[in-house]
Structure 1
């Protein structure tokens, strides 16, 4: 089976997922990855290539058309990247068997355009939480036979060198995006309210002018937070921690939550807010703890700090749960089942422009949940060109219209 993956790049969580899947696949040499832009960090692309897959970077239109026509199946790695939208909406795609694997939840912006689900042959989510999406409720019911869920967040294999066993008791960490676009500012109020005098290590890059640094400075007990910067070795962080304090914004953009799954795989007991994504991963009282507000979070964290044996037990259950349910081998088997079932289907030309819109402004509005006559600037503030942001779109489409 000749499989072509089309993806903007192989960085971040998407690259990590595919590197793990290719490493588990003894037929990875049959895969070709088409990257729409050169990778900024080639780490995961190099791992994919080392597994035997072929990588083609930014082919011209004729070469890409030939690759898609020769493939038994084309899989679009979906998220709100301007280059992927340009390809899908503006290209006269050839007849194909098409799959889209969504690497955003669609619960909040960036939304998943409802028409996209019916435009491809199969649509896969990375988390069951996406099935709760209110904007997608009608289209999910109408297309139940072509929808599936395949996890893309995997744990570390055990054992991991550096696991300190009982020496990790009482150590609390956060690892991930140190930015209020994802992490909740309530985390610092929770830490301030603790009866226990504990230090929480925050692992992740934070600029000198980051609002996170300002929030720490404004705490009553700023010494309880240690900004550790980016970690090159998350496994070591988790192996030396007993509690993962993972309190995120209710409308955060995550779905597979690699850091959460990786921490659980190494026996960290997570404390999370009751967001849909986290609820699909953490089972309250069994593999971690789910709380609904600051007061409950502070009380539960104090409870955890006072009961290291109970926390260790929860951590062991979390590790077993990940080992059973969140492995590359399991996701690969689910993907392969989907792919093989499609080989008898006739090729058809996907009509993606109607689902996405005809202009970059249309794409951006639909992904942000804006009406056709809404001002684009209302959905995004100026800033760095983070993935799918207004600045990101304007970096690729400088004449992006401010109004329709």
Structure 2
């Protein structure tokens, strides 16, 4: 089966997932990746090629149309990247047997446009938490038949020994920014007062809100900003308690860092967000708490009970080894492809679903309540700045900018 993937790029969690899938595929699946922009980091693209995948970078519309016509299945790697909107809405793509794999939850902005859920032959999420999205709940039961979940977060193969000594080491690894990290993270540490500093792994910009908040802690020395690591596995093998406290409207789904930590025997402590609740079972593979005071009390308890933390970590490793593997997801995809190749190809009018202009594409990602606060900062991850960076002279975006105070809260 010839599978053509259209993706903005193969960086981050998406690239990591596909590198693992290609390595786990059976001989009946051949993957070709059409990337809409040059990779900034070729690690995962190289791994895909080494595993037998083919990559075409930044093609023109005609090349894309030709590749789609030759494919048995077209798989769109969905998130709110401006280049993906441009490809789908402006390139006049031919009929295809289409599978969409969503790499955002759709629970909050960036949203998944409702019409996109029923347009392809199959629409797949990376986490069961996405089934709670309002757009999904609004579908008629017969329209949900094409929805499914294929996990994209995979653990490491061999867990680390879960010793009581290791159980006292607290760590976080991931995005060190309040777009992902909970603003209450540092309050939890302040309340728990651990004897050993909490190691925070990940790049953090000088003068960032996280660093400013850390400077106001009662005991700033209770956290250690360790920076980026090229070897997250080694870091997690030394960690006993994985303090993964995220803000409630983060757009993550499969949560690679959480899965990788659990696979190595870390005991996670998380907030009761949908994506985390779909992974952690309270009291068996980790702990889920509702707020900062409860999380601080739980962290104190974990530090007092290293033997229990070690047992929780062992259960977490067994859980991920059974449910979060590339082989399992590759097998699920192969079954979906075998089902889809038996149906007729069809053409999808993406502009009718997503809009015809970059401004309409951007607005399709936002919550309809008008309460979404447009994040400031660099042009990345589907922000308005990202759309403007990709389409600097677009009149629809220029016309949209003066309307932003009416569309979004800015406090």
The alpha-carbon distance between structure 1 residues 138 and 370, as it changes in their structure 2 partners (threshold 3 A), is: closer
Partners of 2:3 and 2:140 in 1: CA distance: 26
What displacement does 1:135 show? 3.1
TM-score normalized by structure 1? 0.95
What displacement does 1:338 show? 0.7
For 2:246, the equivalent position in structure 1 comes to 248
Tell me if the contact between 2:193 and 2:222 (Cα under 8 Å) persists in the aligned partners.
no
What displacement does 1:195 show? 4.7
1:205 to 198, 203, 206: 203
Partners of 2:293 and 2:270 in 1: CA distance: 13
Q: Residue 76 of structure 1: SS of its match in structure 2?
A: strand
Tell me if the contact between 2:154 and 2:260 (Cα under 8 Å) persists in the aligned partners.
yes
> What do residues 42-78 of structure 1 show as CA deviations (whole Å, max 9, x unaligned)?
0000000000111000111111110000100000000
Q: Within 5 Å, give how 1:206-225 maps onto structure 2.
A: 206-225=204-223
What displacement does 1:232 show? 0.9
Tell me if the contact between 1:170 and 1:308 (Cα under 8 Å) persists in the aligned partners.
yes
Tell me if the contact between 2:3 and 2:29 (Cα under 8 Å) persists in the aligned partners.
no
Q: Residue 139 of structure 2: SS of its match in structure 1?
A: helix
**Alignment length, in residue pairs?**
398
- RMSD over equivalenced CA pairs, Å: 1.7
Tell me if the contact between 1:122 and 1:146 (Cα under 8 Å) persists in the aligned partners.
yes
What displacement does 1:158 show? 0.2
Tell me if the contact between 2:164 and 2:307 (Cα under 8 Å) persists in the aligned partners.
no
What displacement does 1:196 show? 3.9
The answer on 1:385 being equivalent to 2:382 is: no
1:401 to 398, 403, 406: 398
Tell me if the contact between 1:368 and 1:379 (Cα under 8 Å) persists in the aligned partners.
no
For 1:121, the equivalent position in structure 2 comes to 121
Partners of 1:144 and 1:206 in 2: CA distance: 41
The answer on 1:139 being equivalent to 2:133 is: no
Q: Within 5 Å, give how 1:255-334 maps onto structure 2.
A: 255-334=253-332
The alpha-carbon distance between structure 1 residues 379 and 70, as it changes in their structure 2 partners (threshold 3 A), is: same
Tell me if the contact between 1:33 and 1:56 (Cα under 8 Å) persists in the aligned partners.
yes
Instruction: Flag as ranges the 4+ runs of structure 1 deviating above 6 A.
Output: none
Unmatched runs of 5 consecutive residues or more in structure 1: none
Partners of 1:7 and 1:28 in 2: CA distance: 22
The alpha-carbon distance between structure 1 residues 382 and 307, as it changes in their structure 2 partners (threshold 3 A), is: closer
TM-score normalized by structure 2? 0.94
Unmatched runs of 5 consecutive residues or more in structure 2: 404-411
For 2:63, the equivalent position in structure 1 comes to 63
Q: Residue 177 of structure 1: SS of its match in structure 2?
A: coil
Q: Within 5 Å, give how 1:36-185 maps onto structure 2.
A: 36-139=36-139, 141-159=141-159, 165-185=163-183
For structure 1, which segment, 129-138 or 247-256, has the greater mean C-alpha deviation from structure 2 after superposition?
129-138
Partners of 1:187 and 1:166 in 2: CA distance: 24
> What do residues 155-213 of structure 1 show as CA deviations (whole Å, max 9, x unaligned)?
001056xx684441200000000000000110111111115433100000001111111
Q: Residue 307 of structure 2: SS of its match in structure 1?
A: helix
Q: Residue 89 of structure 2: SS of its match in structure 1?
A: helix
